[in-house]
């Protein structure tokens, strides 16, 4: 079993445990609380992850420029992938609150200051 498959199974297990504990306690009110706490966690972690990806992309690109042609081309691909990943992350974090609020039933309402998906 590869590390990627093991990591995916761990993430799915954590998601299932989180959802099941939210549903057991109080139903929809706990799901809203779980969404709000997940929102706070993501918004606090996100800037660090994007900055780290951008810095690593720059380091990989710069490191590839001092090596041979084949390594330079691989470094360009890796740096581009990291930059693209960071930009897609920015897109996801920008659209996720609106999509989640529609799914939760608050018709697009989202309190940005408190990460609140309700009235």
pLDDT in tens, 26-77: 555 667 677 777 777 778 888 898 999 999 999 999 999 998 888 889 999 9
pTM: 0.60
Rounded to whole angstroms, what are the CA distances from 41 to 46, 58, 73? 8, 26, 36
Domain count, the chain: 1
- Examine residue 98 and state whether it is found in any structural domain, yes or no: yes
* Tokens, residue 66: 């001092």
- Using an 8 Å Cβ cutoff, are 90 and 42 in contact? no
- 83: pLDDT strictly greater than 90: yes
**Regarding predicted confidence, which is higher, 79 or 113?**
79
Confidence (pLDDT) at 100: 72
Structural domain including 85 reads: 45-119
Task: Establish if 34 belongs to a structural domain.
Answer: no
Tell me what the mean pLDDT of segment 95-111 comes to. 70
Q: Report which secondary-structure segment, H or E, holds 24.
A: helix 3-26
Question: Is 29 among the domain residues?
Answer: no
């Amino acid at each position: 079993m590869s590390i990627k498959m093991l990591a995916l199974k761990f993430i799915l297990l954590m998601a299932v445990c989180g959802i099941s504990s939210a549903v057991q306690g109080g139903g929809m009110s706990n799901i809203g609380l779980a969404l709000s706490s997940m929102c706070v966690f993501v918004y606090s972690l996100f800037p660090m992850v994007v900055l780290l990806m951008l810095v690593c992309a720059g380091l990989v690109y710069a490191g590839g420029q001092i090596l041979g042609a084949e390594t330079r081309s691989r470094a360009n691909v890796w740096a581009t992938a990291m930059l693209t990943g960071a930009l897609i992350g920015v897109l996801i974090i920008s659209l996720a609150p609106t999509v989640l609020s529609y799914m939760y039933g608050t018709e697009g309402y989202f309190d940005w200051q408190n990460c609140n998906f309700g009235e």
